[in-house]
Amino acid sequence: MQHFDTHDVVNQAPPFENVNLYACDPALQQALLREGGAAAADALHQLGARLGRAEVLDLGRQANANSPRLHNFDRSGRRVDEVEFHPSWHALMTLMIEAGVHASPWDSGQPGAQVARAAQYLLFGQVENGAQCPVTMTYACVPALRQAGPIAAKWLPKILSRQYDPRSLPIEHKHGALVGMGMTEKQGGTDVRANSTRANPLAPGEARARFGDEGEGAWALVGHKWFFSAPQSDAHLVLAQTDDTGSAGLSCFFVPRFLPDGSRNAIRVQRLKDKLGNRSNASSEVEFCDAVGWLVGAVGRGIPTILEMGGYTRLDCVVGTAGIMRAALTHALHHARGRAAFGRKLAEQPLMQNVLADLALESEAATAFALRLARCFDEAADPAQALLGRILTPAGKYWLCKRGPAFGAEAMEVMGGNGYVEDGPLARLYREFPVNSIWEGSGNVMCLDLLRAFGKTPAARAALGAELALAGSANPDFYAYAARLLADLERPQGDEYGARRLAERIVVAVQGALLLRHAPAYVAEAFVASRIAVDVGGAFGRLPAGVDCAAILERALPIY
């Protein structure tokens, strides 16, 4: 208790900190084990303890309270386009890169590496979300870059390195590298075919004169990108039109920040975006003034090349959202356990229990779904898993991210006025939710992609059916729901108007199946009763009578 002249400070819940974020999450631990990530359990336990420390959680606050600043020119007036970050940003990046979140599935050789990484990502998502952006893009670029022989040989060792090296230097002098992606232009982000940035091959003589052997295959890019996150990255994959060359369409280019001759590439950072959230991260607008790039993939095959990257970034939108949900839930539940109103702790009041338990169900279902989806990526060599991943990625990105803002608002409200102010974490978490829905394929675009996936690969229906069948027929509401869904999927899927509803039904069915198979009955039955037996409601806190809220909340955050 603290004494002021006028009053004592009482009934304020202490901050949720100095907690092992992994050890306090049974649903995450169980999902890791069953989806194939068991080898990482000890490391995750250690990581959870580290990330839950007060000083680490505070890095997230600091990095967002001190947004990056752009310096276009040095003191002598030379163009530099440098971004200056707060030390907390660098500390967060160091933590993630040292843990291998940007690279481990590509070089660890461990079975279940995608699942293990997803669990790491979900834990980091409870600390800070802006720094997750460059880490995601770097992770996602690797499969595409592996197609680019000489670039891969030179760059992959730096990209996969566990050293975070923020220095602005040519790659030869660096210990680690980050890679971003640039597709979105002013006139169109979703419809990248509208890109106006053009690439033309450099004359072989000029390229060789400038860059020696490395000049082979160099192109010059002229144009712009309207969103270009992490411009401090050592390179970006950039889409540009190459149809002047006779191969119609967009191509994908590797555009480094420094060129092989040591000079800065002509990527002019116009300004940094002033964003709703994700304020720790620099997102910029850039112009390419004959910036030099090298082809990744074939000429005219830019969209499939960048879409390969998109599969991984979309996975991270799903996992990242599960992480933010978990953060919002734990802060809210911890607060409600520590604060009383009308003579009783908030967490013991029936209506608040309904709200909190409903949030806990959503969070556990998101975690279960995210790690199941990560396993599809681990097992992509199995056609059934690849097909399942192909449909669950867009459906999950749509539905989990769509639930995010409502989830964040409700968790904020649990904390009352304290939730709305910047002293606590909820305001920041709330602002983080929408970006996962918007970037890398906004909600509608994901639902249309889902239809496209069913259209191109009708066998995806069987893969989904096999996954749902694992839950059996013991729960009649689930069984009927899954049967209706699969029957509807027997028809060709071309109904754009109803595509959101379809995506939602698929995700809810998979979540229900996972919980029925693996979660305690009080969790699974409450999920089915509130989301499958009836339509998902517009607000949280509509669980029917008979749900064991106390048991759900004890599982959500065991009292420590």
Q: Which residues bind ligand FAD (CB under 6 A)?
A: 180-184, 188-190, 227-229, 275, 278, 283, 435, 438-440, 442-445, 448
Nearest CB to ligand FAD, comparing residues 88 and 184: 184
DSSP one-letter string for 297-361: SSTT-HHHHHHHHHHHHHHHHHHHHHHHHHHHHHHHHHHHHH-EETTEEGGGSHHHHHHHHHHHH
* Residue 110 vs 278, nearer CB to ligand FAD: 278
- Say what the alpha-carbon torsion angle 171, 181, 71, 125 is, to the nearest 10 degrees: -100
- CA-CA distance, 125 to 117, in Å (whole number)? 12
When the beta carbons of 190 and 247 are compared against ligand FAD, the nearer one is 190
Closest contact distance (angstroms) between CB of 449 and ligand FAD is 10
Q: How far is the CB of 281 from ligand FAD (least distance, A)?
A: 7
Query: Please, which residues have CB within 8 angstroms of residue 516's CB and are 6 or more apart in sequence?
Result: 471, 472, 474, 475, 478, 524, 528
Please, which residue, 13 or 181, has the CB nearer to ligand FAD?
181
Residue pointed to by tokens 């890169």? 97
Q: Which is nearer to ligand FAD, 120 or 283 (CB)?
A: 283
CB of 186 to ligand FAD, least distance (A): 8
CB of 434 to ligand FAD, least distance (A): 8
Cβ-based nearer residue to ligand FAD, 171 or 447: 447
- CB neighbours of residue 526 within 10 Å: 25
Strand partners, 254: 237, 294
Long-range contacts of 544-550 (CB under 8 A, 24+ apart): 547/354, 547/357, 547/522, 548/522, 549/350, 549/353, 549/354, 549/356, 549/357, 550/353
Please state the closest distance from residue 315 (CB atom) to ligand FAD, in A.
Answer: 15
Q: Which is nearer to ligand FAD, 56 or 183 (CB)?
A: 183
Residue 136's alpha-carbon distances to 133, 311, 335, 383, 471, in angstroms, are 5, 11, 31, 25, 32
Give the tokens for residue 327.
């953060």
Are the beta carbons of 92 and 114 closer than 8 angstroms?
A: no
How far apart, in Å, are the Cα atoms of 551 and each of 28, 530, 546, 558? 17, 16, 12, 10
| Residue 263: Cβ within 10 Å count | 12
Taking the least distance from each CB to ligand FAD, the nearer of 188 and 338 is 188
The alpha helices in 415-520, defined as continuous H runs, are: 417-420, 426-438, 443-456, 460-469, 476-488, 499-518
Residue 250 Cβ vs ligand FAD, minimum distance, rounded to whole Å: 12
CB 48, min distance to ligand FAD, A: 27
CB of 344 to ligand FAD, least distance (A): 41
Amino acid at 554: E
Place of tokens 């040095």: 74
Alpha carbons 432 and 264: distance in angstroms, whole number: 33
Q: Which residue is nearest to ligand FAD (CB)?
A: 189
Smallest gap from Cβ 69 to ligand FAD, in A, equals 17
Contact 458, 391 (CB under 8 A): no
Cβ 226 to ligand FAD, closest distance in Å? Answer: 7
Among residues 299 and 435, whose Cβ is nearest to ligand FAD? 435
Q: Between residues 22 and 227, which has the closer beta carbon with respect to ligand FAD?
A: 227
Q: What is the CA radius of gyration of the chain?
A: 24
Contact 323, 124 (CB under 8 A): yes
- Distance of closest approach, residue 455 Cβ to ligand FAD, in angstroms: 15
130, 281 Cβ separation under 8 angstroms: yes
Nearer to ligand FAD, 399 or 478 (CB): 399
CA distance 510 to 409: 25
CB of 117 to ligand FAD, least distance (A): 21
Measured from the CB atom, the residue of 134 and 424 that comes closer to ligand FAD is: 134
Phi, psi of 194 (to 5 degrees): -80, 0
